[in-house]
Structure formats: C-alpha cells, structure tokens
Structure 1
C-alpha cells in the first residue's frame, strides 16, 4: 500500500496538470448528472414493517381514502378577535375551490364541519323531544286500552253472573280480541320507539366522546382547513404540497394570517449556509496558523470542496431513483468537508515537515503520500466501514445515509492522495511561505519528537482519574434520553410550520398536533344495524384510556370488517404521555383482535423504538470490524481495546451533552434553540458510526507515531512521548477543523441538522482533546511494553500493513 501510494504521489506531482484536469472532468460530469437526474428530497422518515406502517397498508386496501397523507391549513385573526362573516366566507370559498390543487382528495370547510356538528347536536335534542312526545302518545293510547279492557271485563262479568247466552258473550270476546290486537300494535310501536331511542343515545354518546375534536376554536379566532391527499405520506410530491401552499396563501384575507402544518410546508433545509461557511473559514484560519502559509492552507480547503462537490452532487443525482431524506446530502457535506480537510492536512503537514528537514520536493511529496497517505487510507477505511455497517440495521433510509456518507469519505480519501500531491507539485517550495523558506535556508529543522520526554507518574494518574470522571459526569444526562422525530414545535421560530403548531396548541390544545388514526377489526357477519353499537363500545374503551381527550369514529369499510377512529391525546407528539397513549391503545383487545394505531405521533414512536432496538447490534458490528482493522494496523491487542474503551466514554458523554442541551434546554439561548424536545431518533446510531470512525482516525495518527518510535528502538514510555509529540499538533489542528466545520451546522434552521452538527462537534471535541490527547497517552504510559503485546502465532499470521511507512522510508533514501 505505502509503495503504491508513493508512486501515485510522485506521478501526481510530476503530472499535476493531468491530475487536476481529470478531477475537473469528474466534477463536470457529476454536475451534469445532478442537473439531469435530480429528483428532490423528502422530509419524511419511515421503517417498513412497523406497527403503524401495517395499519397504513391495511387502510390502503380497505379504506384507501384514509391512507393518503393529510395536512392542516390554519387561519387565525391578526388581533385574536372572532372571525367575521366576511372572513369566514372567504375561507369557505378557498376550501370549496380546489381546481388548482394537485393530488388532493378532499378539502374540508371548517365552518361546514362545525355546522354539521351543531346540526347533529340539534337533531339529537329534537329527536329526544320527538321521542318524549311519542312516548306520551303511546302512554295515552295505553291508558285508553287499559280502560277499554277494564270496561269489557266488568261487562262480561255482569253478563256471566246474569246467565247471558254465549252469543252475547262472544260479542264481548270479539271486542276484547280487537283490544288485544291494538295492544300488540302499541307494544310493537313502543319497541320500535325504544330501539330508535337506543340508536339516538348511542349517537349522542358518540358525539359526546368526539366533543374535543373541533376545527373552529371556542373563541372563534382560529379555523382549520383539513386537506387529504390521494398519495401516501412518503410518496407525496413537492408539487402537491406547493399547490396547497400557493392556493391558500396567494389569496390573502384581510386581518387573517395563514399557516401550514409540517405535513404540507416543512421545507427541505439548505445544504450549506452562512454559518457553515463561517465554520469553513475558521478551519482556514486554523490551517494558516498550523502551516504558516496562505497557499499551503488553501490546499486542504480546495481539495475538500472538490471532494464534497463530487460526492454530494453524485448522491443527489440518484435522488430521482430512490426516496432520499433531506438530511442525507447534509451528512455528506459535513463528513466530506471535515475529513477532506483533515486528510489533506495530514499529507501537506508531512510534506512540509520533510521539506524543512531538507528533502527534495518531488521525493518529499511521494514520501508524504506513501506514509501519511497510507494512514489516511486506513483512517478513511474505518469511517467507511462504520458508515456502510448502517445497512445491518435493515432500515432503508439509514442505509442510504450511510452509503452517501461512505461515498463522500471514500472520495475525500481519493482526492487527498491524488489531487493534494498534484497541487503540492505545482507549488514547489512556495508552500512553505516566506518564513519557512528563510528557516530552511539556515539549515534543516530537527523533528520536535527528538526532544520529547516521558510523562511523570503523578501527572499520568491524575490525568486518567480526572478525564474519566469528567466524561462520566458529562454522560449522566444520557440516562434520561428520549428519542423522537422533530415536530412543528421544533421548527425555526417564525416559520409557517412553527406558527401552525403554536396556533393549534393555543386554539385546540396540545393534542391537536398529535392526532392518531386507530383501527379495529369487526367480527365476521356484523350487520349495518350493529355497526353503531360496536363503534360506541370501542370508542368508549378508547376514551377510557388515560391521556385520551377525544375519540370519533370516522369510517367503516363496505364489508363491515374494519372501523377507523380519530383520536386526540392530551399532549403533543413528542411528549412522554403521548407515547404511553399509543402503547395503551395497542394493548386494547376487541373481539380477540388488538387495535392498530397510526398517525405521525405513532410513526415517530415506532421509528424511535426500532432504532433503539438495532443500536446494540450496530455497535457490535462496527466495533468488531474496526477492532480487527486496528489489530492489523497496530499489531497489538491492548491498544485497540484502549481506543475502543475511550470511544465509548466519549460517546456516552456526547449523548449526555445532547440530552442536556436539546432535551433539558441547558444553554438553549446560546445555540438559538426556542423549544426543547427529544433527541433525534437516529442520532445515537449515526453518532456511533461517524464518531467511531473519526476517533480511530486520531488514534491512528497518534498511536502509529508511537509504534514507529517503538519499533525503531525507543523504550515503550519514551515511544509514547515521542509519538505524542510528533502527532500532537496535527491532531489538535485536525480536531479544531472538524469542530469548526461541524459547529457551523449547529446554527442551521433545521433542528435535525442542528443536532447532527452539535453531536458531531461535541463528540470530536471530547474524543480528540480529552480521550486521544489526554486519556490514551496516559493509559499507554501505564501499560508500557504490555501495550504492544500480541501472541506470536497471531503476529506471524497477520500481514504487515506498515501504516507508519517505516519500510518505505528505509527503501527510498531521502534527497
């Protein structure tokens, strides 16, 4: 590997124009593919096979009109006063005219819906009055019949006593039979009346259970237009959403504001913005300080931007073939920028150090590419492996995210070991800057590691105790981590989706943002007359669940086999009580069948639960594969174990920081957070993959220097000091660069990207500066020679990867 990269570096330096031209052509082709095949991004996440997705599949089969996506358009008066008649009429006209809407199945006029609700209540009261009147009439008829029977019975008794002939008695008996027939008719009428009364009371009870489901607020200031789409949530096009937004916002109503729920208006976040550019600028400052030259500092930036452009544009070109989450290319940008700058920096720094020690330019470039480039390849391999391992979760959108991230990292590696040498070849000794060239003119500069001395034992022990204690303290909040997906309350303050969330909360209660769709199976042979009773029974059971404030039956399929209900919980979609409601409803059994629960809140819960379940498997796969790679690289058993243990500490501390800031709200104003909520459901998985790969990068660059010193004859503890001194500055610079790049995304408008940026920035900060620069060298010092122990049989069986490039340096004499 090292020899191959050596030759590649020499070739790139001597044929710089060709190399730069090839990468420019690749970039142009990728941009063309993006322009031709880009198909848009999605803000929806789903996992096949979850309980909620099974409910949606069943609805698509039996009640397709309720299986499509749905959203809300919220109208509210500017001054909070009641909507005027003119304003109500304007809203109704917008709801009625749907000719310009795309893939919309139904638009519900809120005032018609409220009027129907009021009419139903009035009909119930009128029906009760009619029933009371009918009962009074039946009671009057019953009294007349009773009086007639009494008279006939008395007359018959007198006739019998006087010895009247049978013919006379037969006449009275005929009259009595006629009265009995009238009684039968009266009884049938009463039975029918009571059946009607039962149906009426059942309907009244259903209406009572649904009382909390409203589309016009009690103060009359807020009205909600419900929009049902023909396409499912994951297949709903941006064109359909935009048609709704344009229809209801282009026709302004005086004195009324309009807002749209996340299902309609949640925008795709910008892939890169001002704050991200500031992060790159800070990284540039770090490079200038590290390399002492503007020209040299520009090389890692240029190569990283080239790699990011190729990787992200190439990934977006595939968005027309598959559903791609909006955060996927953002992840590619984050990783591509961070590792692209760092990987190029490692090669540039090695070349600069060799030039200062007197090496010839082209030979130095080749050696830097063969030594530092080999480390870059192995470091990038750990990140790629960790990201591709996301496929073991069986979750499509996570696998795609991992694939895009891995592709961006692989491209960053390829660019670093080809384009960087080419640019260095063009620059020659100018990349040292004036100060560097003056220093070189006075003689070769000694390697800083030559003056290193081992750490003291007291300092070592104190360092281990303090760093472990600090990391464990930071990890404490992680014990209360809740997982979820962003809702409208997490959207940027002032956005239309955030405003809709607030208006629904204020006008209808927190649960208005957490509407659920519940399904129930009916027994075979259920008749139309029995449906209402079954609806009431099930609605009563649902309404009795703690945390449910309203429930309404909304549909039954043609075969009377499936019932659908709308359920409103007490709290918002990401509240713990809402999750409890979902679990309680799924535990209800009706006629031997469990209820099904769908809706955005249920979908979020299912995704979070599934991701939490696959986290241990993913962690085991990533750590297992990476341990094998590190054993090959370091030819040691304890060094990989130390590296992994330190990573777990920094990972837990990162989880704790995420909970403290985004869930508990600590330092929320500092990061511009306006609302707290759960940690993004797939954040723990993503952090495991990315941070483990990046942590092993820094481990590799530090520990490889220690091993290089050890195999060249230094004592174990002196080798730790020399390797640390040799790699310290570049790891500090690389860590600062990554923190700057990731930190730039913390101030994005999208909460998903904020959490990504924060988690990665904090994770790198803790792992690079606490674990790799403090804890790991201290533990290596304590272990001494034992750190490099490996069974002889395993040492003989493993190939010699020579990631330090020691054999390469011996084979190629320096100029």
Structure 2
C-alpha cells in the first residue's frame, strides 16, 4: 500500500498540470450534471417489513381516490373568551369562503357540517384539501392561506394552521458553516504558519464536497436523495476532507525539513500519511455503509451519500494534494524552513547527517513541545490518568440512560410557530390524543360490518377516548376507522395501546369475521421505527465493529490495538449521546446552543451517529497510532513509541480535531432538527474521542501494556497480508538496509524539532 501510494504521490507531483486538469474536468462534469438534473422529490419515509408500512400500502391500494397524495392544512379556529363557535359563524363562513377560493384548493370541510367542534363549543377546525402534493404548492397558494388566516385574526378570532400545506418558516443562512470554515482556516494557519499551507486543505476539502454534493444533486431525482442527504454529506465530507489533506501536507513538511527533495517528500508523504488516510477513510465508509443493514431506506440513502463524499475526499487527498504541492513546494513551508528545499538535487549524505545533528543539538536546547510533554506525563502516570478519563466519560454518559426517541412533528416545533400553536389548541380542546390518532384497517368480505365490530370492541378499552365509524372502500373488502387515545402521541400509554391492539388482532379477527386487522398512524410508526432500529442495532454493531477490527488488525498487526480502539469508541459515543440528551431533551444549557424547543431525540439519530462517530474515531486512532507503530517497528521501545507518536502527530491530530469540531458545530444552529442534533452530537463525539480517548486513554493503555500492545500470534502474522501502512517496506526501499536500533526508553528518545 505505502509503495503504491508513494509512486502515485510522485506521479501526481510530477504531472501536476495533468492531475489538476483531470480534477477540473471532474468538477465541471459533475457540476453540469447537477445543474441539468430535475429537482429531487420530497423524501418519502418508509419502513419495509413493518406493520405500519403494510397498513399504509394497503390504504394506498384500496383507497386510491382518498386524496392521500394531496397536501392538507388543518385550520384551527377558537372564539374569543365568553363566546362560542356558533356566535362567530359569519366570520368563520367568510374565512372558509376565502380558503375555498385560494389557488390549488380542492375542497374545504365546513366544521359545522363535519361536526369538528370541541365539547365546550369554543374551538373548531376545518380541513383544507389541495389538488397537488405539498412540494408542488405555489407561493400564491401559501400566501393565500396565510393572508386568509391573518384577516380572520384581525377580526378577533384565534386562528392557527398546521399540516403539510403550511410552509415551515425556517431559513438556512449558512452562517454557522461559514464560521466553522473560518475557524478551520485560523487553526490551519496557526498550525502551519503559512497561508498557502493553510489554504490547501480548505481548497481540496471544498472541491471534494462540491463534487460529492453535486453528485448527490445529479442523482437526486433518480435515487430519491433529499436536501437533508446533501447537508449531512457536506458536513462529514468537509470535516474529513480538511483532515485528510492536513495530514499529508504536514508529513510533506516534515520530510522536507529532514532534507528530502520536494518530489521525494511528496511521494513519501502520500505513501505514509496517505496510507493512513486510505484506511481511515475505509473505516468511515464501512461504518456508514453498514447502516444499510438497518433496512430503512432514508437512513441508507443518507449514509451511502455521505460515504461517497468521504471516498471522494480520500481520492483528492492522495492525488490532488500532492499535485498542488508540486505547484508550491516551498510556499507550504514556514519561512525558516524554505531554505531546506533542494529543487535540483537532494542533500548529500554528509550534509543530511549534519542537518540532523544540528536539529538534534537545537532540540537539546529547546523546550519540548506540549504534545511531547503531555505524552511523557501520561507514560509516567498511566493508571491514574486512565481511571480519571474513564470515570469522566462515564459520568458524561449518564444522561443517555434517559434517552427518549421520537420523530419530528408539529408537537416538537418551536412554540412561536403557527403549527405548534395549532397543535396545542387541538390538544387542549379535543384531548391530548387528538394529535396522534391511530388508523385501523380491516379486511374481509363485509369489511364495514367487521370494522364496526372491531371498533366497538376497542371502544371498551380504558385507554381509548373515541372511535370513529368504519368507512369501506368501493369494493367493500377493506374498511378503516380512527381511534383517538386518551393520552398524547409521545406518551408510553399510547405506545402500549398500539401493542395491545396488535396483540389482540387475532382474537378481533375471529370475533368480527375479518381476515386481517392492522394498525398504523404516527404513534404506531414511531413504535415500529424504534423497534426496527433496536432489532438492527446489535447486527449493525457486530458488522461494523467486526469489519473495522479486521481492518485495524491489518493496519497495526496487533490484537489489542483494535480492541482498545473499539472500547474507546464506546466511551466516546456514550458520552456524546449523554451530552445530546442533556441539551436537546433535558434542556441543560439549551439556550446557549440555540435550542428553542426540547423534546425526544430524533429516532434515526443514535444509530446514524454511532456509524459516523465510529468511522471518525478510527480516523484519529489510525493517524496517531500509525506514528507509534512506525517508531516501534524502527526500533523504539513501546513507551518511547508513544512519545514519538505524539511528538510527530499529537499537534496535528489536535488541530484536525479542532477543525472537525468547528465544522460540525457550525450546523448546531440550523433550523432542521436532525441537522442541528447531528452537528452537536458529532462535535461532542469528536471532542471526547480526540482529546480524551485518543490523547489520554490511548497513551495510558499503551504505556500499561508495553510490548504486549503490539503482540500478534505468529500463525496469524503469517496469514495476514502486510499492507505496510507505516512504510517499513518503503523505508527499506529508499535507504540501505540497516539493523533496527535497540529498543530505547522515552528519556533516550531524541526530541527532534523541525
């Protein structure tokens, strides 16, 4: 692997014009395809194999004329204090007339005729049905709805509206993402001390994200990829793209500082750091691709789109980055190091030895870097540091025990939105279960009669507030009716009611003559969704962790290093979920993070976050431990290898983590709940993983294990292919063979500063 990438890096450096042209053609081609592609459809949520989805599909088949595809708005009207809906009939009639004349409206249900009036006669609602689906509604239709309700409010009525026909008043400004990129630029400049070096990772990352997002847009209508899919791909692609380029540029600067020619330095940087990038990217892709086992199409699409963007970031890092280095071999260095670049010929052995001796003498007089001092501290006190880190992450994970899952809806919107106000008015006037009715489908020869019998039996349940009459289709073989629970959609009692009806389904079928009784609706959907994710969690973790374990086994040729990496990931994701629950569900410091409305955590988020965090956690494991492994195979002791790994990679890993945290944090203030939660969860996970697990737990564990950390049975060593990520074969190819140096102690390891 290292040798192949070494040749690729040299080729890209030498043929930089051709490589740049190739990527320009890719960007233009994908961009043109995206601009000419039709608008992707609205994301259709589905869960194949669940009872809710089966019932929904049945309704679409048996009730094709029900208008289920058309948008609807539920306009809630409340009379002033001391008056009833009947007293406001003229004003309500005027409102209904205006709504009926609005563009694209098919019909308006009069609450007086439909009987949709509350028991206290003060609140009513009218259902406005449209001819087209919500994404096809025009601005004129939206404006007509808003203007009609505004005029009714001016007349003294309380009027709010919900439903998919009501536009969601939220804008994505992009300010957060811009701030994240700006912080990344500052961190890169402070790390490299060069504007060109700082700009290179940003440029390549933006190109990678552009290609990935444009590809998603080009395939959006074909594969049904939504805007949220692009946002998540952009979030992950931007973060890893910057990090991957950062590590290759950093290694190039290190090689040049040791006297390598620019072309040779680019080859070695691509062969060593590029190998780590490839395997780190593979772990992210495996973790994201593994989400396909969950069996939820929307989750699979988001994961595969993000995985594709990561793959593009890896390709750019190992091809375009060395090409860009060819255009500015000196400008990416600090001013003090630019004199080291030998454009025509490499340093002679004598000059190279003198340069290294001079660097060693300078290091002896210079205070060791912070990363070196920190690693030395951990190596001296590994047990205490390890216990403190584990206990701290465990404490942060405690709020995760209160995790509640749910799907986004009007009940979780901000309290100042008209949708949330309509939701609250209906709950207060018609009961808490009104906003979460259950839909029961009944199949049989005389479906209407069977449906009435099933409804009558279920009405006896103490958890049921009301049951509507059964309505049969034209063929008479399928009927539906609604059940309004006494409790709200998110209450555990409502979920228990769904489970109870399904448990009794066989008995209800026998007593009513029905052939099949199914339950669907929002609450049933959430219940099925949670169960699907719960059933898929262990297989998913087994698949992802197993494949990543094998990958890390190949990279590090050790049994304990992959095991330690997996356990560290569990600590990171547990602490991140705990922080997520604390802020978005329990409301701790919610104002600071701009969380207007607390509530259940998005149902898809935990398993999606597990996949993403696992991949990102392995990034830092590969980058940091590869340097330790490299030092170990070249003669350093296990303890000295820890210090050496931190000396060469500690600062860069810290910078990469800060960049990734900045990028993810920029999405916390987005209006989309899923994106905001994902941004917070990933930022917290990277913070805990990079600065606690990888910077504290990893060196402590390696110090405690010593040489055992790198143990691998001989029979397994013979079976495993040698992928040579640390570049051992490459180093033997570039330099005369010499016996490995004796294992040294951390104190004897020279602290080279370039």
The residue aligned with 1:72 is 73
Q: Find the residue that maps to 1:331 and give its secondary structure.
A: helix
Q: How does 1:342-361 map to 2 (within 5 A)?
A: 342-361=243-262
The residue aligned with 1:700 is 622
Q: Distance in 2 between matches of 1:57 and 1:451?
A: 61
Note closer, same or farther for the CA distance 1:367–1:78 as it changes in structure 2 (3 Å cut).
farther
Contact in 2 for aligned 1:519/1:597 (Cα 8 Å): yes
The residue aligned with 2:697 is 775
Q: Find the residue that maps to 1:563 and give its secondary structure.
A: strand
Give CA deviations for 1:615-644 in whole Å, capped at 9, x if unaligned: 111110000111111111101111111111
The residue aligned with 1:14 is 14
Q: Distance in 2 between matches of 1:10 and 1:665?
A: 53
Give CA deviations for 1:396-431 in whole Å, capped at 9, x if unaligned: 222212210110000001111122112222122112
| Pair 1:566 & 2:463 matched | no
Contact in 1 for aligned 2:74/2:125 (Cα 8 Å): yes
Note closer, same or farther for the CA distance 1:55–1:772 as it changes in structure 2 (3 Å cut).
same
Higher alpha-carbon deviation: 663-672 or 266-275: 266-275
CA RMSD in angstroms comes to 3.1
Give CA deviations for 1:157-205 in whole Å, capped at 9, x if unaligned: xxxxxxxxxxxxxxxxxxxxxxxxxxxxxxxxxxxxxxxxxxxxxxxxx
The residue aligned with 1:54 is 54
Note closer, same or farther for the CA distance 1:714–1:347 as it changes in structure 2 (3 Å cut).
same
Match of 1:714 among 632, 636, 639: 636
Note closer, same or farther for the CA distance 1:238–1:793 as it changes in structure 2 (3 Å cut).
same
Note closer, same or farther for the CA distance 1:295–1:276 as it changes in structure 2 (3 Å cut).
same
**Displacement of 1:514:** 1.4
Q: How does 1:503-652 map to 2 (within 5 A)?
A: 503-521=425-443, 524=445, 531=449, 537-558=453-474, 560-589=476-505, 590-592=508-510, 595-652=517-574
The residue aligned with 2:114 is 113
Larger Rg: 1
The residue aligned with 1:249 is 146
The residue aligned with 1:275 is 176
Q: Find the residue that maps to 1:432 and give its secondary structure.
A: coil
The residue aligned with 1:683 is 605
Match of 1:310 among 202, 211, 218: 211
Which runs of no fewer than 5 residues in structure 1 stay unpaired? 115-213
Q: Distance in 2 between matches of 1:762 and 1:797?
A: 39
| Pair 1:471 & 2:387 matched | no
| Pair 1:238 & 2:135 matched | yes
TM-score (norm 1): 0.80
**Displacement of 1:535:** 5.8
The residue aligned with 2:234 is 333
Contact in 2 for aligned 1:694/1:764 (Cα 8 Å): yes
Q: Find the residue that maps to 1:747 and give its secondary structure.
A: coil
The residue aligned with 1:403 is 304
Q: Distance in 1 between matches of 2:488 and 2:192?
A: 52
Note closer, same or farther for the CA distance 1:244–1:570 as it changes in structure 2 (3 Å cut).
farther
Note closer, same or farther for the CA distance 1:285–1:485 as it changes in structure 2 (3 Å cut).
same
Note closer, same or farther for the CA distance 1:63–1:595 as it changes in structure 2 (3 Å cut).
same
Q: Distance in 2 between matches of 1:764 and 1:44?
A: 31
Q: Distance in 1 between matches of 2:56 and 2:379?
A: 63
Match of 1:654 among 565, 568, 576: 576
The residue aligned with 1:92 is 96
Q: Distance in 1 between matches of 2:718 and 2:664?
A: 42
Higher alpha-carbon deviation: 257-266 or 722-731: 257-266
Q: Distance in 1 between matches of 2:240 and 2:169?
A: 25
The residue aligned with 2:271 is 370
Q: Distance in 2 between matches of 1:344 and 1:725?
A: 19
Q: Find the residue that maps to 2:484 and give its secondary structure.
A: strand
Give CA deviations for 1:671-700 in whole Å, capped at 9, x if unaligned: 222222222112122122111111111111
| Pair 1:484 & 2:400 matched | no
Q: Distance in 1 between matches of 2:227 and 2:160?
A: 22
| Pair 1:290 & 2:191 matched | yes
Q: Find the residue that maps to 1:73 and give its secondary structure.
A: strand
Q: Distance in 1 between matches of 2:405 and 2:160?
A: 27
Q: Distance in 2 between matches of 1:666 and 1:660?
A: 5
**Displacement of 1:811:** 2.4
Contact in 2 for aligned 1:271/1:329 (Cα 8 Å): no
**Displacement of 1:36:** 1.6
Note closer, same or farther for the CA distance 1:361–1:546 as it changes in structure 2 (3 Å cut).
farther
Note closer, same or farther for the CA distance 1:565–1:626 as it changes in structure 2 (3 Å cut).
same
**Displacement of 1:245:** 2.8
| Pair 1:34 & 2:34 matched | yes
Note closer, same or farther for the CA distance 1:73–1:559 as it changes in structure 2 (3 Å cut).
closer
Contact in 1 for aligned 2:440/2:517 (Cα 8 Å): yes
Q: Distance in 1 between matches of 2:30 and 2:119?
A: 52
Give CA deviations for 1:218-254 in whole Å, capped at 9, x if unaligned: 464x5433245688xxxx4510486753442354652
Q: Distance in 1 between matches of 2:323 and 2:416?
A: 48
**Displacement of 1:108:** 1.6
TM-score (norm 2): 0.86
Note closer, same or farther for the CA distance 1:535–1:614 as it changes in structure 2 (3 Å cut).
closer
Q: Distance in 2 between matches of 1:541 and 1:578?
A: 17
Higher alpha-carbon deviation: 423-432 or 256-265: 256-265
Contact in 1 for aligned 2:443/2:477 (Cα 8 Å): yes
